[in-house]
Amino acid sequence: MLMHKTIALLSFLLICEFCAAQDIAFPLKASADKKYLVDQNNKAVFLSGCSSWDLTCAVTYSEAKEYLLDRKEKKFNALLLRIIPYSKQFKNGDKKPYGIPAFFDDDLDKPNEALFQHLDSLIELCNQLGFATFIAPMYLGCCNDGWLEVIQQYKDGEAKCKRYGEWFANRYKKYPNIIWLSGGDHNLVPEATAFTEGIVSVDTTHLHTVHAHPGKSSGERYQDVKWQTLSACYTYFPAMEHSKEWQFVQVYAMMYDEWYNEYHMPYFLIESAYEDERFATTQIIRRQAWWSLLSGASGEIFGQRDIYQMNDNWRKVINEPGSESMKILAAFAQSVPWFKLKPDWAHSFFVSGRGTFNATIYPGGEDYATGAFNPDSSLAILYMPSYRKVGVNMSRFKHAVTVKWFDPSSGNYKDVSSTFPNKDVEYFEPPSFKNKKGFDDWVLLLEAK
């Protein structure tokens, strides 16, 4: 008994330590120019997220706390959560749910208070730990794993779904850290639209986005709705999927469209390749995250096969390379004025060695190097997904330039000894063919002071 009390006390103190360090003033909002996310103190916030969809139903509160403390230590600051039916329609037979359904008889008018009290405690814990929490209260599903098939059987589906939206918003609008998430691996159907209308009839203070079908951002799909205030980019690599139904474009290509189409809201990468799924290597996981950072995004969500399901294997995979790479990326983003950077789509700074920009559904373009620069010409950053020599237009800088290489696999820097004049074109190659973890991706930083 004494040991249990000691562990509980240590856990409480650890949470308090994180709370003291937490400096995000929720709720999040768009910056004045609608380009990036800020908190209530107008401090820029880059979302370093983790897909934890089934945290709400697959583990106990104690297990969830253990997981969240690990995510916090690894510098994650955002989560994806969902509410799913617990019914005969739910076909994921190997799942071991927390043990209580969200609704009785899959009826949205019959919420199970036990489950929602559990959700109350989880969202409050996320708030204490400083996690922006995307919540999908009516996750539709892609493969008979959500509410879609259930709500389409209702006789009064739209009215019932709207009531649920109102009920859910009234219960959870008090939590400052939430971000409303409509859809869920599916475009909005009339019932889901009615649910969203129920949410926004009660609360428009929190950000609102959509997790729709992959291939188009939610900003592009839902340009005309006033309630959407954050655009979610969802795409997989063309080389990883060959689908006649979905058209997958590269992560950076989708964000190129976001930047130039100006949907008047920040955008972020909500989903791409998951670690340990399909053909995703650690380098692929890093590529899509760094592509996002240097393509004008306000964040990216990392996914891992066992973590998003919170299945029996989640403890074994929380220290896999993907999580470590995301920790390094988050620390890097905190070290630079990422929100001031402008994507170098025109290749005016990085003039050669950029690789192939691919904006089609045809496989290719995995070697494209995304670059960005500060408009005052004091900083330029290039992520190279593979080894190459790159040419830099040094005349874009106003002063002499110092150069560093950053290893995205280890977080280590290596200075280039020379200082370069701000004229002509200079060519740079990484310090070695392989980085510390044996991959060949590198980050180049150039600063003029």
Question: Phi-psi category of 364—alpha, beta or left, where left has phi over 0 and alpha has psi -120 to 50?
Answer: left
Find the mean pLDDT for residues 145-169. Answer: 95
Q: What percent of the chain has pLDDT over 70?
A: 90
What pLDDT does 242 receive?
56
pLDDT tens per residue across span 116-143? 999 999 999 999 999 999 999 999 998 8
What pLDDT does 1 receive?
47
Please give the torsion angle defined by the CA atoms of residues 125, 128, 134 and 136, in that order, rounded to the nearest 10 degrees. 30
Place of tokens 């939206």: 165
Residue type present at position 144: N
**Residues in CB range of 1: below 8 A, 6 or more apart:** none
Question: Phi-psi category of 444—alpha, beta or left, where left has phi over 0 and alpha has psi -120 to 50?
Answer: beta
pLDDT tens per residue across span 412-447? 999 998 899 999 999 999 999 999 999 999 999 999
Find the mean pLDDT for residues 170-182. Answer: 98
pLDDT tens per residue across span 264-290? 999 999 999 999 988 888 999 999 999
Rounded-to-integer distance, Cα 288 and Cα 384, Å: 12
pTM beyond cutoff 0.85 = yes
What pLDDT does 3 receive?
40
What pLDDT does 159 receive?
98
Residue 380 reports pLDDT greater than 50? yes
* DSSP symbols for 360-404: SSSS--TT--EEEE-TTSSEEEEEESS---EEEEGGGSSS-EEEE
What pLDDT does 360 receive?
83
Q: Higher confidence at residue 224 or residue 232?
A: 232
Token reading at 384: 């190279």
Length reported for the chain: 449
What pLDDT does 11 receive?
47
What pLDDT does 245 receive?
59
Q: Name the band, by pLDDT with cuts 50, 70 and 90, for residue 192.
A: very high
**Residues in CB range of 91: below 8 A, 6 or more apart:** 143, 144, 145
